[in-house]
């Protein structure tokens, strides 16, 4: 069966190349857009996702880590009085306007965390150590944000909200949703961001490991008014859900992926249909010598399967090439194993589904047509 299917494929190389190209283009577009969507959702929740070892305590109305309200710092002592809570670390998130020696300016988001634990960041430290943030005016920026931040390098000075700072270290691959992160101490973030010394945006809770985190969150939520405690996984999910609902990103990417799927089905379907029409006498001959419709269906499906397998291998190589290429520019993401399986299933769906056009046409062929 495979040998005969390959002969049919190789007989008309232009149409075979067209069917293969349709499969490759379709799966590449699907993989490309899903990859960008993964990167965006990771960026939306980066602050929570990279501090998964803590319970987050925020304002009771907050469902998005990118939009945190201010809390009174006295809340930290109240949190530490709850059974099971070992430490409540304040986190300050403040906006800032940076001006650089080359005359450029940029907006950034200051993340202030408390030494020496630095709960809340920085993470993915590439150059330097977190302790360097204790130096006067020290901040950490990301390696991939150097162009946005006026080409500043390690040790360079610039201004944030009119106050002098310098780059004491760098992270690599720390991406925020629609902005740039700069890390410093909680005290300096308040000073640079003009936040009251008695305010914080969140508290990150370190708890006794002998107690389940859901017990801690339940105690906080029932015992303290005006705040809500979240486990990091739950807060990550809620942040993504909130942003996706309000921005329409899911509809945009979903539409593109759907059209890529339809385009693949149509291209391979029409190509196989056209090839079947060109070789209708060959299929008729097979029927005349005893081939059943079931055999013909298997023959066409085998051809489609060959296109699907070859298209998946080539398309997946293109997808990985795309992922590695944009990673060099700081757009870093990875495809989980279950998503790779979905890519494979979608490829087979496109190729086998597209073959139905040809199967329906060939099934209606009468053996007697060969002799007309």
pLDDT in tens, 58-76: 999 999 999 999 999 999 9
- Phi/psi for 146 (5° steps) reads -60, -40
Contact 140, 167 (CB under 8 A): yes
Confidence band for 260, pLDDT divided at 50, 70 and 90: confident
Q: Residue 166: which H helix or E strand, with range?
A: strand 163-171
Q: CB-based contacts of 312: which residues, under 8 Å, 6+ apart?
A: 23, 27, 343, 344, 347, 348
How far apart are the C-alpha atoms of 269 and 275, rounded to whole Å? 10
User: Mean pLDDT highest for which of 4-8, 22-26, 310-314, 351-355?
Assistant: 310-314
- Phi/psi for 183 (5° steps) reads -105, 145
- 213 shares a domain with 70: yes
Range of the domain at 106: 61-225
Asked, for residue 310, whether it belongs to a domain, the answer is yes
Range with the poorest average pLDDT among 4-18, 94-108, 207-221: 4-18
Asked, for residue 238, whether it belongs to a domain, the answer is no
Confidence band for 191, pLDDT divided at 50, 70 and 90: very high
Asked, for residue 236, whether it belongs to a domain, the answer is no
Asked, for residue 329, whether it belongs to a domain, the answer is yes
pLDDT of 184: 97
Within 13 A of 45's CA, how many CA atoms are on the CB side? Answer: 23
pLDDT of 208: 92
Per-residue pLDDT of 65-119, as tens digits, reads 999 999 999 999 999 999 999 999 999 999 999 999 888 899 999 999 999 999 9
pLDDT of 367: 61
**How many CB atoms within 10 Å of residue 53?**
11
Q: CB-based contacts of 202: which residues, under 8 Å, 6+ apart?
A: 56, 57, 58, 65, 68, 71, 90, 91, 93, 120
Query: What does the buried/exposed string (b/e) look like for 192-209 if buried means 16 or more CB atoms within 10 Å of the residue's CB?
Result: bbebeeeebbbbbbbbee
How far apart are the C-alpha atoms of 70 and 75, rounded to whole Å? 11
Asked, for residue 39, whether it belongs to a domain, the answer is yes
How would you classify residue 365: left for phi > 0, otherwise alpha for psi between -120 and 50, otherwise beta? Answer: beta
How far apart are the C-alpha atoms of 165 and 159, rounded to whole Å? 6
Per-residue pLDDT of 230-240, as tens digits, reads 999 999 999 99
- 257 shares a domain with 146: no
- 206 shares a domain with 66: yes
- 306 shares a domain with 215: no
Contact 170, 129 (CB under 8 A): no
Average pLDDT of the chain is: 87
Per-residue pLDDT of 139-159, as tens digits, reads 999 999 988 898 899 999 999
How far apart are the C-alpha atoms of 271 and 248, rounded to whole Å? 35
Tell me what percent of the residues of the chain surpass a pLDDT of 70. 93
Tell me what percent of the residues of the chain surpass a pLDDT of 90. 53
- 69 shares a domain with 24: no
The two structure tokens encoding residue 252: 């945009």
Confidence band for 370, pLDDT divided at 50, 70 and 90: low
pLDDT of 270: 76
User: Mean pLDDT highest for which of 233-247, 275-289, 293-307?
Assistant: 233-247
- 261 shares a domain with 358: yes
CA-angle at 50, arms to 74 and 56, nearest 5°: 30
- 303 shares a domain with 333: yes
Confidence band for 320, pLDDT divided at 50, 70 and 90: very high
Confidence band for 134, pLDDT divided at 50, 70 and 90: very high
Asked, for residue 261, whether it belongs to a domain, the answer is yes
How far apart are the C-alpha atoms of 77 and 261, rounded to whole Å? 55
- 194 shares a domain with 312: no
Instruction: For residue 103, count CB atoms less than 10 angstroms from its CB and return exposed for 0-12, middle for 13-18, buried for 19 or more.
Output: exposed
Strands 227-231 and 55-59, how do they pair? antiparallel
Q: pTM value?
A: 0.84
Query: What average pLDDT score do residues 167-177 get?
Result: 92
Beta bridge partner(s), residue 166: 138, 157
- The residue among 249, 273, 257 whose CA lies nearest residue 26 is 257
Asked, for residue 290, whether it belongs to a domain, the answer is yes
Asked, for residue 30, whether it belongs to a domain, the answer is yes
Contact 349, 58 (CB under 8 A): no
- 353 shares a domain with 217: no
Number of domains in the chain: 2
Range with the poorest average pLDDT among 30-44, 187-201, 255-269, 312-326: 255-269
Contact 70, 92 (CB under 8 A): no
- 39 shares a domain with 153: no
- 179 shares a domain with 312: no
- 367 shares a domain with 314: yes
């Amino acid at each position: 069966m495979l040998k005969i299917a390959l002969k049919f494929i190789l007989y008309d190389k232009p149409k075979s190349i067209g069917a293969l190209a349709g499969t490759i283009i379709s799966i590449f577009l699907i993989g490309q857009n899903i990859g960008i969507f993964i990167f965006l959702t990771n960026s939306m929740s980066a602050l929570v996702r990279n501090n998964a070892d803590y319970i987050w305590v925020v304002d009771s109305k907050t469902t998005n880590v990118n939009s945190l309200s201010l809390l009174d710092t006295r809340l930290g002592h109240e949190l530490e009085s709850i059974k099971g809570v070992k430490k409540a670390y304040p986190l300050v998130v403040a906006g800032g306007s940076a001006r650089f020696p080359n005359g450029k300016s940029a907006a950034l988001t200051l993340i202030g965390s408390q030494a020496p634990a630095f709960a809340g960041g920085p993470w993915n430290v590439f150059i330097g150590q977190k302790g360097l943030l204790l130096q006067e005016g020290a901040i950490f920026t990301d390696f991939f944000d150097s162009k946005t931040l006026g080409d500043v390098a390690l040790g360079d000075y610039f201004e944030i909200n009119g106050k002098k700072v310098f780059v004491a270290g760098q992270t690599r691959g720390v991406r925020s949703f629609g902005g740039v992160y700069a890390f410093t101490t909680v005290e300096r973030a308040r000073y640079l961001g003009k936040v009251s010394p008695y305010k914080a945006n969140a508290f990150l809770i370190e708890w006794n490991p002998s107690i389940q985190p859901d017990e801690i969150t339940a105690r906080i939520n029932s015992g303290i008014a005006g705040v809500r405690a979240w486990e990091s996984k739950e807060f990550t999910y809620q942040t993504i859900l909130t942003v996706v609902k309000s921005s329409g990103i899911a509809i945009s990417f979903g539409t593109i992926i759907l059209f890529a799927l339809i385009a693949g089905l149509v291209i391979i379907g029409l190509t196989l249909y056209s090839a079947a029409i060109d070789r209708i006498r060959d299929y008729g001959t097979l029927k005349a010598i005893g081939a059943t419709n079931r055999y013909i269906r298997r023959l066409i499906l085998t051809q489609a399967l060959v296109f699907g397998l070859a298209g998946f291998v080539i398309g997946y190589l293109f997808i990985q090439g795309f992922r590695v290429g944009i990673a060099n520019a700081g757009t870093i993401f990875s495809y989980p194993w279950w998503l790779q399986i979905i890519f494979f299933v979608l490829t087979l769906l496109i190729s086998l589904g597209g073959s139905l056009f040809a199967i329906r046409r060939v099934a209606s062929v009468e053996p007697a047509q060969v002799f007309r």
